[in-house]
Chains A and B, each alone.
Chain A
């Protein structure tokens, strides 16, 4: 449904947009001077520099032949700023070297801009193709008219329209004439056949590559407003608990400190788009602000979560998981089946809170101006949400708020929440001037929207004929929704559809259950969300089941998949959530899952003999509509140090738009998974996070991450699906299963601690 709205609304261009595109398309070029490469009318390559063909919001062409594409999704490392524009360029038959990217501001006219949930390519593949095909169609028609030939005799290729006789026009030359033609209906456009793709399914390097390696790329705090003050905030260790009083006398004595004041904030739950607040320190530079923050003395209030301690809570959730919960998917009769089972494999799995800890901490530049408007710059995944949240906080109409999106120094879901941008806007209004707000690493680690802590209990029954006949899965974790509302007391269906309720194995008796767990700290979505927990538990217990049955783990998984079919989850689960897509459009197809498993078996040389202290582990998981199988090879030495020499991934993500960036997501995903499995853990005591920086919130370094990661992409013409998040869920259990093979130690709690 969202797709349809997007398609219809995207192609309306207002007069203002047209003017703005014109200004951008010709910037830096000689205006109004016709540039022609040859006097021959049939060989004109360029037209008037100020000619502009802009048939939709995303792409325009100037008389100079320069193509401007608006990148409307945020770049946080996935390559999306390149991968959507290259789809336009491909359909348009543009020369990629003549394409200039402009990062779009946050504006509803672009449709969905929330770069989150691994759906950018899935949602915009078709609209981008239409945008490119539209402009190509207009150029073909313009050439045909000028030559007075039938359009079918013309083709577009490498920034030119070529007639069957060999004569040609450059795109630039045709821009003016094409701009006067009526825009064709999307339904009448001819899209390219996959075999004609020039960029799609081929490798395109990211647009910002050279700027990155030379230090020129602009991230949040690199935006330079000369008069901007610097702000940092001293925050209550228990988020949302408030302030009794504070003493800023010593801090104000530090040269360069201009103001210290209290930013009011709401109590818990704090929501996603409201400030955490605290004592704001304004100074002329960052170092002074940080020093002054240390000098401020604050008496913090205790809040509603001052008894929250993760050790106790995990034990409590574990107890809850032993009891019958609220069933959200039921097939057959689980009690009867387990009672009659020959063997039951029973296991509990515990996962801690994790922090996103993006390399660039949250940060923002804001300028509240005297005319009552506010302009902000920042590394944001969801610029429209930022716009609305700032408008709300400053009580401005949205039109008065301008949100500029910088490159994002990674995010993993953190920077989809607008809280830090709202803080900066509020500070700018308070000081009546521009400000840069820095969240220090300590702020970031102690005041994140954490991955939810989770306890799971599984019981898998095996009957007398050695067949798996029953599947009981209880997953208990505080919901993300509890960050906005106290009435959200248990995991949502959407969260449970990340692994629990969409379990694909063909088993007769199934019960998938959850129960209440209170959200007592800001909880958010971290790369692959609840799939982290559920992939770990399911991938691990299947290995135990295989061993109990005496069957190879890959053969076990293939057998449990059962018949090749599209699983009718809508009839199995009330309110089934298929990553916001209809099950008919993006079915869970067991033959695609089977294919990635069979392929990883082959590619990894599965079953090869491993020396002592080494092991291979397997897991497969469908998430964000993509199918992924993973084999991890591990080495454990006498000191119990874990090395990962090799990871094999096989992914079916439909049409692979930019395969090298897909591979990069999987290479990086394995490293992210290694952090979660081996290193990272957020613990909370008396409402306060105990970790503070990379000294005690540990993440994978070059020595911990996999030494090599091989990624095999299944060739497919199916619709493209997610690649940012799907690498994580199967990696962790595959690693744990490899460790079991290497050491005999079964991992049931993250992070992994070998004894």
Chain B
């Protein structure tokens, strides 16, 4: 056990946990921030995607000891005051079915659009293929990403 200083959604937080605890379980169990989901535990499905210094990462496989002094953004941290354009696009396109994977999908999509405001289909595939949706909302995910891209032009 050790104390770790974290910067999550622009807030300083302190947790006392095992150094190898993945960020996912730190968020969910220690900080009761449950918007980030467990799907596989092996960085295979993307349900746990968060941003570390703006990069999309799978929090299920990221030990807490590796992220001190880094800026972490979770689904709770985007669109805190008003909805993020990507969240708005998700609503507009009625993307979610069960919704469980959508926190991760949205975090991956935001990271993509931050870097590539007007992505091609191939760029969408590359950025989003790590995020599984078992309900199969992929057609609308692509549509929502493209609608944000259009507004970026």
Residues on A close to B: CB < 8 A? 75-79, 205-206, 208-210, 212-219, 221-222, 224, 230, 255-256, 285-288, 290-291, 357-361, 407-412, 438, 440-441, 660, 664-665, 667-672, 674-675, 693-695, 699-703, 705-709
Asked if residues B35 and A215 are in contact (CB atoms below 8 Å), the reply is yes
Is B4 an interface residue when CB atoms closer than 8 A count as contact? Answer: no
The answer to whether residues A360 and B100 also contact, given A214-B75, A285-B30 and a CB cut-off of 8 A, is yes
Asked if residues A360 and B37 are in contact (CB atoms below 8 Å), the reply is yes
Interface residues of B in 17-37 (CB under 8 A from A): 17-18, 20-22, 25, 28-30, 32, 34-37
- Taking a contact as CB atoms closer than 8 A, the residue among B25, B40, B99, B134 that contacts A693 in the complex is B40
Asked if residues B139 and A221 are in contact (CB atoms below 8 Å), the reply is no
Asked if residues A205 and B91 are in contact (CB atoms below 8 Å), the reply is yes
- Taking a contact as CB atoms closer than 8 A, the residue among A209, A215, A702 that contacts B76 in the complex is A215
Query: A residues within 8 A CB of B131?
Result: 701-702
Shortest beta-carbon distance from B121 to chain A in Å: 8
Interface residues of B in 88-113 (CB under 8 A from A): 90-91, 94-103, 106
Bound CA span A409–B141, Å: 17
Asked if residues A440 and B41 are in contact (CB atoms below 8 Å), the reply is yes
Asked if residues B139 and A708 are in contact (CB atoms below 8 Å), the reply is yes
Shortest beta-carbon distance from A160 to chain B in Å: 28
Asked if residues B140 and A667 are in contact (CB atoms below 8 Å), the reply is yes
- Taking a contact as CB atoms closer than 8 A, the residue among B18, B21, B44, B141 that contacts A694 in the complex is B44
- Taking a contact as CB atoms closer than 8 A, the residue among A359, A412, A440, A706 that contacts B100 in the complex is A359
Shortest beta-carbon distance from A217 to chain B in Å: 6
Given A216-B35, A287-B22, A441-B45, output 14 extra A-B contacts at Cβ < 8 Å.
Answer: A77-B97, A79-B97, A205-B94, A214-B87, A219-B100, A285-B30, A287-B17, A359-B45, A359-B135, A361-B38, A410-B98, A664-B137, A668-B136, A705-B138
Bound CA span A219–B22, Å: 20
Is B5 an interface residue when CB atoms closer than 8 A count as contact? Answer: no
Residues on B close to A: CB < 8 A? 1, 17-18, 20-22, 25, 28-30, 32, 34-42, 44-45, 47, 74-76, 79, 83, 87, 90-91, 94-103, 106, 124-125, 128-142
Asked if residues A660 and B38 are in contact (CB atoms below 8 Å), the reply is no
Asked if residues A359 and B44 are in contact (CB atoms below 8 Å), the reply is no
- Taking a contact as CB atoms closer than 8 A, the residue among A213, A660, A664 that contacts B91 in the complex is A213
A to B CB contacts below 8 Å, 30 in the list: A212-B99, A213-B83, A213-B90, A213-B91, A214-B76, A214-B83, A215-B75, A216-B35, A224-B34, A230-B29, A288-B18, A359-B47, A359-B98, A359-B132, A360-B100, A361-B38, A361-B39, A410-B100, A410-B134, A441-B39, A441-B42, A668-B135, A668-B137, A671-B133, A671-B137, A694-B40, A701-B130, A702-B133, A707-B139, A709-B139
Query: B residues within 8 A CB of A79?
Result: 97
The answer to whether residues A669 and B96 also contact, given A215-B74, A221-B34 and a CB cut-off of 8 A, is no
The closest CB in chain B to the CB of A205 belongs to B94
The answer to whether residues A702 and B29 also contact, given A209-B94, A441-B41, A668-B135 and a CB cut-off of 8 A, is no
Asked if residues A213 and B96 are in contact (CB atoms below 8 Å), the reply is yes
Most buried by B among A286, A672, A707: A286
Shortest beta-carbon distance from A434 to chain B in Å: 14
Shortest beta-carbon distance from B130 to chain A in Å: 8
Bound CA span A583–B87, Å: 46
Query: A residues within 8 A CB of B44?
Result: 693-695
Asked if residues B32 and A664 are in contact (CB atoms below 8 Å), the reply is no
Bound CA span A209–B102, Å: 10
Asked if residues A255 and B45 are in contact (CB atoms below 8 Å), the reply is no
The closest CB in chain B to the CB of A445 belongs to B40
Shortest beta-carbon distance from B28 to chain A in Å: 7
Asked if residues B79 and A409 are in contact (CB atoms below 8 Å), the reply is no
Bound CA span A286–B23, Å: 12
Asked if residues A409 and B98 are in contact (CB atoms below 8 Å), the reply is yes
Query: B residues within 8 A CB of A705?
Result: 136, 138-139
Asked if residues A701 and B129 are in contact (CB atoms below 8 Å), the reply is yes
Query: B residues within 8 A CB of A357?
Result: 134
Query: A residues within 8 A CB of B128?
Result: 702
The 9 closest A-B pairs by CB, nearest first: A215-B35, A671-B136, A409-B100, A77-B98, A215-B75, A212-B99, A668-B136, A77-B97, A694-B44
Query: B residues within 8 A CB of A674?
Result: 136
The answer to whether residues A221 and B28 also contact, given A213-B83, A695-B44 and a CB cut-off of 8 A, is yes
Query: A residues within 8 A CB of B20?
Result: 287, 291
Shortest beta-carbon distance from A658 to chain B in Å: 11
Bound CA span A671–B87, Å: 23
Asked if residues A702 and B134 are in contact (CB atoms below 8 Å), the reply is no
Asked if residues B98 and A702 are in contact (CB atoms below 8 Å), the reply is no
The answer to whether residues A412 and B74 also contact, given A76-B98, A667-B140 and a CB cut-off of 8 A, is no
Bound CA span A709–B135, Å: 14
Shortest beta-carbon distance from B147 to chain A in Å: 14
Bound CA span A535–B39, Å: 30
Bound CA span A212–B1, Å: 33
Asked if residues A693 and B42 are in contact (CB atoms below 8 Å), the reply is yes
Asked if residues B34 and A359 are in contact (CB atoms below 8 Å), the reply is no
Shortest beta-carbon distance from B65 to chain A in Å: 13
The closest CB in chain A to the CB of B35 belongs to A215
Query: A residues within 8 A CB of B94?
Result: 205-206, 209, 660, 664
Bound CA span A578–B17, Å: 56
The closest CB in chain B to the CB of A220 belongs to B100
Bound CA span A512–B109, Å: 50
Query: A residues within 8 A CB of B29?
Result: 230, 285-287
Bound CA span A590–B56, Å: 51
